Structure 1
Amino acid sequence: MMLIREGSLSEVVQLVEKIHEFAQQETEQSLQARLNNKTGLVLVAENDSGLLGFKIGYELDDETFYSWFGGVAPTARGHGVAQRLLEVQETWALEQGYQCIKVKSRNQFPAMLRLLIRNNYLIEEYEKKDQILESRIHFVKSIKK
């Protein structure tokens, strides 16, 4: 059975090391620098065999939560881990009083793009890069009741 819970940055670092798509490895310090005392949420998914995935987000302003960084270990893909992390993050953000969630992804992550569209995230902006796979797609979802 999968459990989603608040996690630590050291657990996130362990997961990032397993996910080959991430060009840059992270440290607890690099992650903490990005969070920089913002109101945030670090979620991890786990089961009896260990850590499966993570999702980190933080407040952009009183109404907007930014889903910044997430991933699922290759061995855990295809089992709904990213979907559950997304659902728990959305529920938490709504409970905290946020009105919307913003997230960016890239053409090189088609599974993430499909996940966002399937969960009613809308394309808000396109950030063109020299390498089309590096281009960023900005999404937003209203979560207000």
Structure 2
Amino acid sequence: MQIEKYEGMPPSEVLQGILYLHAQLFEKMEPMHQTLEQAEASLVQVAREEGKILGYDISYAKDEGVWYSWLNGMEEAFEDDGWRSRLVGNVLIHAREQGYQVVQTKLAHQYPEFIDMLQAAGFQVKEELPDERIWLEKKL
């Protein structure tokens, strides 16, 4: 498997592959085009094997000094292979290199294994949100 990185809007075929995988993994579709177009800066990563997108991570500049890890998904067969943590690690490296001081994310409680992975990477719980999500933050 290989990881491809795009700063800003990825090529259309990559975005379509992400949307396809996202629809398979989650019930709720996200307004990816609009969010990426409005972001001051963004990083889109995909994990591919033989041309097929098996995982993705989308993050962007949120506020001054804050990088936001927005969407992350991985085909279940590859979740335990460390690819998701590699994508998150790339986000942390990118944010630090761009001068951001904090990476934030919000995640539903229904993904405890992902929450555990983020905490193992140094993310701290900032707040329990009323919509069954948790707000995590890592200072860089």
Does the TM-score normalized on the shorter chain lie above 0.5?
yes
Q: Percent identity?
A: 28
- Equivalent-residue separation in structure 2 for 1:89 and 1:11 (angstroms): 20
Residues 4 and 88, structure 1, Cα contact 8 Å, conserved in 2: no
Matched with 1:82 is: 84
Matched with 1:18 is: 24
Q: Deviations over 1:11-53 (max 9, x none)?
A: 211221331xx12235xxx211122331111111122372221
The residue type equivalent to 1:23 in the other structure is: E
The residue type equivalent to 2:19 in the other structure is: V
Kindly state the Cα deviation for residue 5 of structure 1 after the two structures are TM-superposed.
1.3
SS at match of 1:101: strand
State the TM-score, normalizing by the size of structure 2: 0.86
SS at match of 1:86: helix
- Equivalent-residue separation in structure 2 for 1:124 and 1:52 (angstroms): 30
Runs of 4+ with deviation above 6 angstroms: none
In structure 1, list runs of 5 or more residues that go unmatched: 130-134
- Equivalent-residue separation in structure 1 for 2:4 and 2:61 (angstroms): 19
Matched with 1:55 is: 57
SS at match of 1:120: coil
Matched with 1:34 is: 35
Matched positions, count: 132
Residues 18 and 74, structure 1, Cα contact 8 Å, conserved in 2: no
Alignment of 1:1-145 (within 5 A): 2-6=1-5, 8=10, 9-19=15-25, 22-26=26-30, 30-38=31-39, 39-48=41-50, 50-129=52-131, 135-143=132-140
In structure 2, list runs of 5 or more residues that go unmatched: none
State the TM-score, normalizing by the size of structure 1: 0.83
